[in-house]
Each structure stands twice: as C-alpha cells, then as structure tokens.
Structure 1
Amino acid sequence: MKWVILDRDGVINEDSEAYIKSAAEWHPIAGSLEAIARLNQAGYRVCVASNQSGLGRGLFDYDAFAAMNALLHRRLAEFGGRIDALAFAPEAPEKSSDMRKPEPGMLTDLARRLGIQLDGVWFIGDKDSDLAAARAAGARPVLVRTGKGRKTEAAGAGEDVAVYDDLAAAVSALLAA
C-alpha cells in the first residue's frame, strides 16, 4: 500500500497568522482537494498530521476543530477523495510534547497505528517543523510554497527537500515518478 502524509494548514487549506478557528474560515487552496482525490484514485492512502496549537491556546474548541475537519471530508468527497487518518497535536508551543512537530511523535504514532513504515513516504508540509519531523521520523520531506512555504524555502529548506509550488504540483510529480 502507498501512503502520503500531509500537513493541513498552508498545504490543504489557506493558513492565517490569526489561525483558522472555524469552518467558516476554512478555505481550500486551489487544486488541493483535487490533488488529494488524484492520490486516492492512484491507490494512495492519505493521512493528515497537523499541529493545532489554537486548541491549546483556547482560540477554538474541539467542536470547531471537528467542524473544520468535517468540512474537509465533505469537500473532498465532492472530488471522490478521502483522508484515511488524521493526527493532530493540540498543545500550545510552550506546553509541547513529542507529538508536536518538529518532533516526530505524530508521524511515528500514525505509522504504528496504521502498521506502515515511513521510509520513502512523502510528508508534504510548508514549514520547517514539517520538514524536521519528516526527517526525524524517517519520512521523505517535501515542501510546498503555499502557506509559509516560500518563507521556509528562503530560509533554506535543505538539499534533501523536493520543493513544489503547491500540493497539486507535488502530487503531479509523485504520480509521474
């Protein structure tokens, strides 16, 4: 079975310095939902691994978080796509655990629960913490320029990182390989 792991905010949906706090604020990045559906149709299972410190900071609650994810699932279904697993770290940065990226715990926990090896699995993110977590977990770090990706690229993502304009471009490259 083939797997891909995605960060959420800045990769699948638009990000905000003020955080995405409700389903009304959740807007997919152009082409991202179609890209996930293309992965599914090509036989890939897709997981999401996302820091959600807005929960720990009290900016939104679990009901709002569930509503955002339900919207993601509904919108994906319109394109024949799905998310097979979702992992998130609700802690605020000052109370972080090994589950919060850049630590690898969220990724290794996903792998353990799903019974998969992360070697060669693409983890597509837009922040240095995504890339660091991928490296530490043994996954392949991939950067998109959406969200905070351009800033991450400018700071030096690393020679081991493939960089694409957006999730659609990354998926096209993966499926062409």
Structure 2
Amino acid sequence: MSKAVFLDRDGVINEVLTKRVKFVNTPDDFYLLDGVGEGIRKLNASGCKVFVVTNQGGVGLGFMTEQDLHDVHYRMESDLARFGAYIDDIAYCPDKPHVKSWYRKPSPGMILDLAQKHRIDLASSYMAGDRDPDILAGRNAGTKTVFLGNDKKQKEKADLHFPTLLSFATWLTD
C-alpha cells in the first residue's frame, strides 16, 4: 500500500478570497499560490501519491457547471506541469454548502474512495488543508492532519501545522 498526501484545493493550492480572486468559478480565476508547484513536485519525487479533495458547492448553487469545474482542474494541472508537478487524482463534492453528505468535507467519503481506488495506507498518509472541515475530514478518514496557514486557532486542531504547502512538503521529503 502507498502513502499519500490529500490536499484541499482552494486556499492550499490556489488563491481564494484575495483581492484578485473571490471564488474560482472559471479557469481565469485560478492562480497557483507561491511555492505550490515546487511543493507538489517534491511530493511527487518522493514517491508519495498526491490527491486533491475539494468541496465545490458552487456547482450545486449554480455558479458554475461541472464542465467549468473540469476546465478549472485542467488549468490547475497545466499550471503544475510547468513545475514538473502533477496530481494523481482529483475528487470533488458538488453538493451545496451545509448539505449533509458522505462526500462533502468534513465527511471522509472523498478520501476513503480515493484510498480504496489507489490502495492507500491512510494511517501513514496526510490530509492538508486550511480550514476546519479539511482537518476533520482527514481525522474522520484516519489520516494524520496538517493545517496550512497562520490561523493560530485552526492549527491547534491539527496534528501538524506549516505556513505553506512548500514548507510541509520540504519537511515531509527532506
């Protein structure tokens, strides 16, 4: 069985709720955060599987279509490829916010499905995110949890915390 890093998308891989971007509903709204390409490349080079698990309530709310979401993910993968980095698989939940769903984080469904599909050892894997639902989803799935960012209140809830994805990837791979 393999080890993996499950990553939230918005706020971990790309900008969201910034001066430049409010929500990512089209490829033109997608901007990689600094260091993300290098961080994911480090994870890839270490042999770790890298997955994206993302709540995308904008689909359920009608702000974007599933095709729009696939186009955003194509842009993400293209931007990462410029750094020699790649994502092994992507899971998303299109349900509206506040809907109780097996797949919408903090529920573990997306992580558990990817783990089964790719033969992942969850106990030796990590879920990294920038919000409470990400940390809870990882905990509910049986992974170690990593808070990325500087919110002191949030990082107390995770097993580990780092300011950026690159700093976490460097710690994990060096």
Is TM-score (shorter-chain normalized) higher than 0.5?
Answer: yes
**Aligned residues: percent identity?**
33
Q: What SS is found at the alignment partner of 1:49? A: strand
Q: Which residue of 2 aligns with 1:161?
A: 159
Matched, 1:53 2:53: no
Q: What SS is found at the alignment partner of 2:133? A: helix
Q: Which residue of 1 aligns with 2:45?
A: 41
Matched, 1:25 2:29: yes
Q: Which residue of 1 aligns with 2:3?
A: 2
Figure out how many residues of one structure are paired with residues of the other and give that number: 170
Q: What SS is found at the alignment partner of 1:95? A: coil
Deviates more, 1:132-141 or 1:37-46: 37-46
Q: How many Å apart are 1:12 and its aligned residue? A: 0.5
Q: Which residue of 1 aligns with 2:115?
A: 111
Mapped partners of 1:120, 1:48: distance in 2 = 17
Q: How many Å apart are 1:2 and its aligned residue? A: 3.0
Matched, 1:76 2:77: no
Picking from 141, 148, 154, the partner of 1:137 is: 141
AA of the residue aligned to 2:17 = S
Q: How many Å apart are 1:160 and its aligned residue? A: 4.8
Q: Deviations over 1:85-144 (max 9, x none)?
A: 100111012333110000111111111111222112011100000000111110011011
CA contact (8 A) 2:147 2:158 kept: no
After superposition, the CA RMSD in angstroms is 1.5
Q: How many Å apart are 1:156 and its aligned residue? A: 4.2
Q: Which residue of 2 aligns with 1:173?
A: 171
Mapped partners of 1:173, 1:103: distance in 2 = 27
Q: Which residue of 2 aligns with 1:90?
A: 94
Matched, 1:125 2:129: yes
Q: How many Å apart are 1:76 and its aligned residue? A: 1.2
Q: Which residue of 2 aligns with 1:99?
A: 103
- Listed as ranges, the gaps of 5+ residues in structure 1 are none
So what's the TM-score if we normalise by structure 1? 0.90
Q: Which consecutive segments of 4 or more residues in structure 1 shift more than 4 A?
A: none
AA of the residue aligned to 1:165 = P
